[in-house]
Structure 1
């Protein structure tokens, strides 16, 4: 594994995606400034429906329209105003990225809700999650794979010097696998999705994107081995949610990259680069890997998205992640 390379520079840090506020231009400039080694397309859920994780992902579904009903996204029979708003928000975000990243060369990350989080969150027209209907869940995964392919190609054309990475956000994947997603009545749960089926849908999106992909799961019991076997280049996790490290260690030993969510989003915890760096280094020591691999195989990130943080706190956390990644690289001399 020592000869392996990963699609980001040694000593990299990045954000999970979401940030506070409504000023896309300012947020994108901040990310490019604070996270110059691995910046990302910003997400500002504070702008309302269509800027949220589910609406944003649903807006990319190819030939599978969605609409808002009772403040929830659901599959629709034809495109309407809600879908136009969602796609317009994304277009404006991409325009701002195009302007802010003019002349940029290097890795650039874009984030999209994963197929299982979308299937568990989108409602059927008759009610209940699309996950409850195997055919609908399959349609969502297929439409997402095609939509992501087009989206990645669009971003690549807008920022031609960038080497794109895709992040699939799957916070609900553990609940989908464990059968913890409630039915429409909320009195019972949808039966668990088999691991092979979950892997297949993830793999289809990864393969369709055609770029290195990390799967982000900040919930407890992230299925690291399943994610690795779906073709992901990396897994992004909240270190506070990691229990048994054997599964993670085995996947990393086989070459999986790690986006280590080491900077706490708790406002009571100081945004300290040294604390973040020490935490990542301790984990690496416990896992027993060669120190020189750490700054190459690991990307430092906040524990989760920062939409609920203040602008000052969000900037401080991104700065802490960037400085921690550089400190780890310098400590080890990578």
Structure 2
């Protein structure tokens, strides 16, 4: 996989993360109806197993996980928690497949997400009660298991949805992992920082699991972006609130390298004053203008999403927000043409 796969996301409207409600078919109807690159949503209101940790854990191969007193932990064998999470995933895939086929949208591209191995290793505990991140051997096993599971997941989605699949890997704790800022379970100390070269080694296989593109979402900082640059063909994603001039030059490297750049331009919560498409688009225009790139770069390399997943009970806004995502992506294309 290389930057040559950018056309799948170029100028696209897409999304990720939590979606309100418990109806997988309604969620699929909205994301397929509003977005040029639909995504496989998470519906955490369904309960245990439907969260990002539960969804990602069920993709692991030879690595059973259950829900314990303090969160998710490694188990001896798959149990009721695994079965429940697998059922939710199967339901979500069934719904997306059905709606894509019904609407004649098969054959395009879809986006699927997972927590990355480093952030997942903070959320999962070993039998001794310590996070997997504290055990380098267990961390390597977890990363290999997740890469293997995602390879199978992507292959199944390509077959069933008859679509190209873009992987969105979420590493919200990458900066803390690299900086030695992850608290121990007891909260009285922090785990030893993971060297950048070790992080690259663990993440590199995710650029070669059969997906038609890889975008990594993590906090923007010099250390995290340095890791992302070492992942072959990997794109980057940033919410509008992260588009600080401090990071412009580092983001410019991704444009120069011809990689995908995702922009979370639409707020995930309703605003007192409805935002205009022009106002929502402005951070993207400022970014490329300040970097000295032509505005045509936006349609050639960027895609638009909301800034985060949606809160519970926000059904009306979720549908409207994704409609705004599509309008901002269309306006981005118009600015690029101008």
1:153 aligned onto 2:155: yes
Superposition pairs for residues 33-48 of structure 1, below 5 Å? 33-35=33-35, 37-48=36-47
| Counterpart in the other structure of 1:260 | 263
- Contact preservation (8 Å) 1:225, 1:251: no
For residues 2-32 of structure 1, the C-alpha deviation after alignment (integer angstroms, 9 at most, x for no partner) is: x966132643111123211111100101000
Question: 2:169 is paired with a residue of what secondary structure?
Answer: strand
Distance apart, 1:77 and its partner CA: 1.1
| Counterpart in the other structure of 1:116 | 118
Distance apart, 1:71 and its partner CA: 5.0
| Counterpart in the other structure of 2:26 | 26
Between 238-247 and 281-290, the greater mean CA deviation after superposition: 238-247
Between 270-279 and 293-302, the greater mean CA deviation after superposition: 270-279
- Contact preservation (8 Å) 2:39, 2:110: yes
| Counterpart in the other structure of 1:286 | 290
| Counterpart in the other structure of 2:184 | 183
For residues 52-99 of structure 1, the C-alpha deviation after alignment (integer angstroms, 9 at most, x for no partner) is: 011110110000000000151111111111111111111111111111
Distance apart, 1:317 and its partner CA: 1.5
| Counterpart in the other structure of 1:125 | 127
Question: 1:251 is paired with a residue of what secondary structure?
Answer: helix
- Contact preservation (8 Å) 2:67, 2:73: yes
List gaps (5 residues or longer) in structure 1. Answer: none
1:275 to 267, 274, 279: 279
For residues 214-245 of structure 1, the C-alpha deviation after alignment (integer angstroms, 9 at most, x for no partner) is: 1112x353722311321243111112124422
Distance 1:295 1:225 in 2: 25
1:81 aligned onto 2:80: yes
Distance 2:264 2:97 in 1: 28
- Contact preservation (8 Å) 2:269, 2:310: no
1:198 aligned onto 2:196: no
Between 57-66 and 91-100, the greater mean CA deviation after superposition: 91-100
Question: 2:125 is paired with a residue of what secondary structure?
Answer: coil
| Counterpart in the other structure of 1:221 | 221
Distance 1:307 1:204 in 2: 32
Distance 1:207 1:297 in 2: 20
Provide closer, same or farther for how the CA distance between residues 209 and 191 of structure 1 changes in structure 2, counting only shifts above 3 A: farther
Distance 2:68 2:82 in 1: 12
- Contact preservation (8 Å) 2:9, 2:302: no
Between 42-51 and 300-309, the greater mean CA deviation after superposition: 300-309
Question: 2:262 is paired with a residue of what secondary structure?
Answer: strand
- Contact preservation (8 Å) 1:5, 1:296: no
Please give the TM-score of this superposition, normalised by the length of structure 2: 0.92
Question: 1:7 is paired with a residue of what secondary structure?
Answer: helix
- Contact preservation (8 Å) 1:221, 1:241: no
| Counterpart in the other structure of 2:301 | 297
1:140 aligned onto 2:139: no
- Contact preservation (8 Å) 1:119, 1:129: yes
1:105 aligned onto 2:107: yes
Distance apart, 1:190 and its partner CA: 0.5
Please give the TM-score of this superposition, normalised by the length of structure 1: 0.93
Distance 1:233 1:317 in 2: 27
Q: CA RMSD in A?
A: 1.9
